[in-house]
Every structure is written in C-alpha cells, then in structure tokens.
Amino acid sequence: MIPLDTLTALHSSLSSLLVAIDADFINGLIEAFAGLFVLNHCRVLYADKSVRGVSIVSALFFTLWGFWNLYYYPQLNQPVSFYGGLFVVLANAVYISMMVVYRRRTASVDDLYLGCGK
C-alpha cells in the first residue's frame, strides 16, 4: 500500500515536471508523430496502389486544418509546433496527391472495362 504522503509528493513532482516541460515542445512532438503516421498512410497506399475505403474529403479537411495551424502557431509564439505542423501539411499534401493519382488510374481501368460491354 502506498502512503498518502507519498502520493502527494508524487503528484507535486509530476506537476512540477509538467510545468517545466514546454507545451510547444509537446505539441510539436505530437504534430511530428502525426506527420509520421500520415507518411505511413502514404506507404500503404503506395504498396496497394489503390484507394479504397478512405475519403479524400477527410484528408482535405485535416490538410486545411494544418494550413490553419501554420497561421495560428506563430500567433501563439510556438515555433516547434509550427515546424511539426508544416511536416503534417507536407505529408498530407503527398498523401492527397497520391490518392488523386491512384484514383485516376483506377477510374481509367474501370472505364475501359465497362466500355468493353462486359
């Protein structure tokens, strides 16, 4: 069993640690990881070479949100978040571009197939 005074000391230590950690650094780190996850989407899309079950509208929304963040983070004086957000926007731009390319390829193949009368 943990004594209550130990929990109070632990809480105090964690609170001090969280105050010492810069919120911009944490947010920027989360943005950078988000960019890595978007690049994972790109990797999977490249391997499949087919867009199935993913809405391009959702990807566009999050990209637009990313552009907003590129405006907003400097207003908050958060340079680490800005660069993390820039990484996410660039990764999303690559992802959307790949989605457009692979949808066009799939659509042209489907059009040819349907055009054969089968």
**Is pLDDT of 42 > 90?**
yes
81-to-26, 46, 63, 70, 86 alpha-carbon distances in Å: 8, 28, 15, 9, 8
Lookup: tokens for 87? 């990484």
| Candidate ranges 12-26, 65-79, 101-115; pick with highest mean pLDDT | 65-79
**Is pLDDT of 94 > 90?**
yes
The answer to the question of residue 98 being in a domain is yes
Mean pLDDT computed over 63-88: 96
Q: What is the DSSP letter of 77?
A: T
The answer to the question of residue 66 being in a domain is yes
Specify the CATH number for the domain of residue 29: 1.20.1280.290
Number of Cβ within 10 Å of residue 6's Cβ equals 10
**Is pLDDT of 117 > 50?**
no
The answer to the question of residue 7 being in a domain is no
The answer to the question of residue 78 being in a domain is yes
Which pLDDT value is given to residue 20?
A: 63
The answer to the question of residue 61 being in a domain is yes
Domain count of the chain? 1
pTM: 0.74
The answer to the question of residue 12 being in a domain is no
> Could you tell me the residue range of the domain that residue 89 belongs to?
22-115
Lowest-confidence pick of 8-12, 49-53, 62-66 = 8-12
Which pLDDT value is given to residue 58?
A: 93
The answer to the question of residue 4 being in a domain is no
**Is pLDDT of 111 > 80?**
no
Closest CA to 58 of 76, 38, 72: 38
The answer to the question of residue 15 being in a domain is no
